[in-house]
């Protein structure tokens, strides 16, 4: 596959992953460019044990977290970045967020999600993102990673446990939810 | 969390359990507070992670591939430090520096033997008249009388 084909095939996917985490168009595009530059230079390291998408996904999420670490971004969306268009788009999307949920709360959830995912291992983080954000099924994840379905289930269970423990350590309880922790 | 929930956790979270399995899970949950709490937490955090789904992803600006290739070129351009890290160039640099060092060392060794040791005391000057500081003066050896007078003057003005 020519590199141009690879970029054109995965650019929307990569951009949507980054945009989902950062919610800033310019930053998301910069990081997407960086992801493909990294893919270009390290394509020889791809060992075909997982799918190309899984490998690119891993690079993408790592780049996002590197960016967040470097910039020390704690708040995902600053008030200055949060335009009325953004608010309108989020309120009307109905995909990711409960439309009845106040915007402040959904921002708090995203902030919490990024923080908690930053506290668990890269493998657990990628698996949870592929499952919850990208909506892949256990069967699809098994096919993508080359593991069997039971292994994926166990890994997901452990990742979720670690996420809950990370939240307990942070003392974070999402506003709308009663976690019973 | 106990086994019936672990093996069906993903189906529970997606609310896609078969009625029979759902009944079994509900029966277990009604008698196990730990599982109830843990499942509640996992359900909540599952929704928290889902909040990272982009609601409506804006379009990438046209020319994305060109910008990627520009970045590739920028990062692929060898810097001075990258050149040093390059194995072939680095090896040549080491060999070249070594050869230069050997040449300079051999040159210094070869030329240091030619330098006459300058006399520091009158005794040395007498024993090595040809290599004393006086010998550098022009016409030395042409006139014995003049040389003797110069030599005596040097000795007379010598002070330790």
B110 and B87 belong to one structural domain: yes
Alpha helices in A72-148 (DSSP H): 84-93, 103-117, 122-128, 138-145
Q: How confident is the model at residue B153 (pLDDT cuts 50, 70, 90)?
A: confident
Q: For residue B139, what pLDDT is reported?
A: 66
Q: For residue A93, what pLDDT is reported?
A: 39
Please indicate whether, in this complex, the C-beta atoms of B53 and A138 are within 8 angstroms of each other: no
Please indicate whether, in this complex, the C-beta atoms of A114 and B48 are within 8 angstroms of each other: no
| Residue B87 C-beta-side C-alpha neighbours within 13 Å | 0
**Which chain A residues are Cβ-neighbours of B38 within 8 angstroms?**
161, 164
Q: Which tens digit of pLDDT belongs to each residue from A17-72? A: 999 888 889 999 999 999 999 999 988 888 887 888 889 999 999 999 888 888 76
Q: For residue B69, what pLDDT is reported?
A: 93
Q: Which tens digit of pLDDT belongs to each residue from B132-149? A: 455 555 566 778 888 888
Structural element, H or E, at residue A175: none
Task: Quote the CA–CA distance of B16 and A126 in Å, as a whole number.
Answer: 23
Q: For residue B147, what pLDDT is reported?
A: 83
B45 and B17 belong to one structural domain: yes
Cβ proximity of A167 and B45 under 8 Å: yes
B63: in domain: no
Nearest chain A CA: its distance from B108 CA (Å): 48
B132 and B109 belong to one structural domain: no
B15 and B42 belong to one structural domain: yes
Instruction: Please indicate whether residue B123 or residue A165 has the higher confidence score (pLDDT).
Output: A165
B26 and B41 belong to one structural domain: yes
**Which segment of A111-115, B1-5, B15-19 scores lowest on mean pLDDT?**
B1-5
Task: Number of helices (H) and strands (E) in chain B: give both, helices first.
Answer: 8, 0
**Which chain A residues are Cβ-neighbours of B75 within 8 angstroms?**
37, 41
Q: How confident is the model at residue A94 (pLDDT cuts 50, 70, 90)?
A: very low
B131: in domain: yes
B16: in domain: yes
Q: What are phi and psi of B117, to 5 degrees?
A: -75, 125
Q: For residue A56, what pLDDT is reported?
A: 92
B7 and B40 belong to one structural domain: yes
Q: Which domain holds residue B131?
A: 122-156
B20 and B35 belong to one structural domain: yes
B100 and B139 belong to one structural domain: no
Say which of A133, A153, A164 has its CB closest to residue B10. Answer: A153
Q: Is A135 left (phi over 0), alpha (psi -120 to 50) or beta?
A: left
A 113-172 residues with CB < 8 A to B: 113-114, 116-117, 128-129, 131-133, 138, 153-154, 156-157, 160-161, 163-164, 167
Instruction: Please indicate whether residue A16 or residue B124 has the higher confidence score (pLDDT).
Output: A16
Nearest to A28 by CA among A87, A86, A100: A86
**Which chain B residues are Cβ-neighbours of A157 within 8 angstroms?**
1, 6, 9
Report yes or no: A5 at the B interface, CB cutoff 8 Å.
Answer: no
**Count of C-beta atoms within a 10 Å radius of residue B57:** 19
The percent of residues above 90 in pLDDT, for chain A, comes to 39
CB pairs under 8 A between A and B: 139
B61: in domain: no
Q: How confident is the model at residue B109 (pLDDT cuts 50, 70, 90)?
A: confident
Average pLDDT, chain A: 79
B102 and B126 belong to one structural domain: no
Nearest chain B CA: its distance from A81 CA (Å): 15
B146: in domain: yes
B103 and B131 belong to one structural domain: no
Task: Quote the CA–CA distance of B64 and A32 in Å, as a whole number.
Answer: 9
Nearest chain B CA: its distance from A19 CA (Å): 6
Residue A102: is its pLDDT beyond 60?
Answer: no
Q: How confident is the model at residue B156 (pLDDT cuts 50, 70, 90)?
A: confident
User: Best residue in A96, A100, A102 to probe B by mutation, most B CBs within 10 Å?
Assistant: A96
Q: Is A23 left (phi over 0), alpha (psi -120 to 50) or beta?
A: left
The total number of structural domains that make up chain B: 3
Give the mean model confidence (pLDDT) for residues A148-170.
Answer: 91
Task: Quote the CA–CA distance of B32 and B34 in Å, as a whole number.
Answer: 6
B90: in domain: yes
Please indicate whether, in this complex, the C-beta atoms of B10 and A138 are within 8 angstroms of each other: yes
Cβ proximity of B51 and A104 under 8 Å: no
Supply the DSSP string of B35-96, one letter for each residue: HHHHHHHHHHHHHHHHTTS-SSPPPPPS-HHHHHHHHHHHHHSPPHHHHHHSHHHHHHHHHH
- Cα of first residue to Cα of last residue in chain A, in angstroms, is 49
Q: For residue A176, what pLDDT is reported?
A: 40
Q: For residue A29, what pLDDT is reported?
A: 93
Give the mean model confidence (pLDDT) for residues A109-132.
Answer: 90
B77: in domain: no
Residue A155: is its pLDDT beyond 90?
Answer: yes
Give the mean model confidence (pLDDT) for residues A87-98.
Answer: 42
Angle (deg, nearest 10), helices B3-13 and B33-50: 30
B68: in domain: no
B133 and B103 belong to one structural domain: no
Structural element, H or E, at residue A74: none
Contacts 24+ apart (CB under 8 A), B26-31: B28/B2, B28/B4, B29/B5
Please indicate whether, in this complex, the C-beta atoms of B40 and A180 are within 8 angstroms of each other: yes
Q: Which tens digit of pLDDT belongs to each residue from A107-120? A: 788 888 888 898 99
CA dihedral A122, A127, A129, A130 (to 10 degrees): 140
Q: For residue B157, what pLDDT is reported?
A: 79
Longest alpha-carbon distance in chain A: 52
Nearest to A152 by CA among B9, B78, B54: B9
Give the mean model confidence (pLDDT) for residues A171-180.
Answer: 49
Report yes or no: A1 at the B interface, CB cutoff 8 Å.
Answer: no
Instruction: Please indicate whether residue A147 or residue A178 has the higher confidence score (pLDDT).
Output: A147
B20 and B41 belong to one structural domain: yes
Q: For residue B160, what pLDDT is reported?
A: 62
Nearest chain A CA: its distance from B68 CA (Å): 5
């Amino acid at each position: 596959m020519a590199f141009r084909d690879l970029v054109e095939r995965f650019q929307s996917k990569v951009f949507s992953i980054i945009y989902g985490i950062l919610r800033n168009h310019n930053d998301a595009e910069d990081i997407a460019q960086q992801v493909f530059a990294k893919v270009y230079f390290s394509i020889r390291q791809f060992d075909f044990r997982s799918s190309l998408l899984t490998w690119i996904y891993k690079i993408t999420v790592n780049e996002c977290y590197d960016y967040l670490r470097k910039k020390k971004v704690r708040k995902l969306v600053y008030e200055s970045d949060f335009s009325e268009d953004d608010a309108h788009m989020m309120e009307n999307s109905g995909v990711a967020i409960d439309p009845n949920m106040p915007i402040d709360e959904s921002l708090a959830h995203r902030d919490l999600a990024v923080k908690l995912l930053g506290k668990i291992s890269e493998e657990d983080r990628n698996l949870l993102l592929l499952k919850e954000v990208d909506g892949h099924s256990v069967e699809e994840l098994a096919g993508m990673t080359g593991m069997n379905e039971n292994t994926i289930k166990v890994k997901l269970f452990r990742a979720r446990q670690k996420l809950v423990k990370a939240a307990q350590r942070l003392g974070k309880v999402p506003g709308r939810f009663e976690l019973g922790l | 969390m106990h086994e019936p929930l672990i093996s069906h956790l993903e189906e529970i979270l997606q609310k896609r359990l078969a009625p029979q399995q759902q009944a079994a899970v509900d029966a277990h949950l009604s008698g196990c507070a730990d599982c109830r709490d843990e499942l509640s937490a996992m359900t909540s955090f599952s929704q928290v992670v889902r909040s990272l789904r982009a609601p409506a992803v804006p379009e990438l600006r046209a020319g994305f591939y060109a910008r990627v290739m520009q970045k590739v070129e920028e990062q692929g351009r060898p810097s001075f430090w990258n050149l040093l890290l390059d194995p072939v160039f680095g090896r040549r640099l080491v060999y070249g520096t070594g050869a230069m060092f050997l040449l300079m060392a051999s040159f210094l060794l070869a030329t240091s033997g030619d330098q006459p040791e300058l006399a520091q005391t009158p005794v040395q000057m007498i024993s090595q008249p040809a290599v004393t500081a006086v010998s550098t003066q022009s016409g030395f050896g042409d006139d014995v009388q003049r040389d003797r007078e110069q030599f005596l003057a040097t000795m007379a003005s010598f002070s330790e």
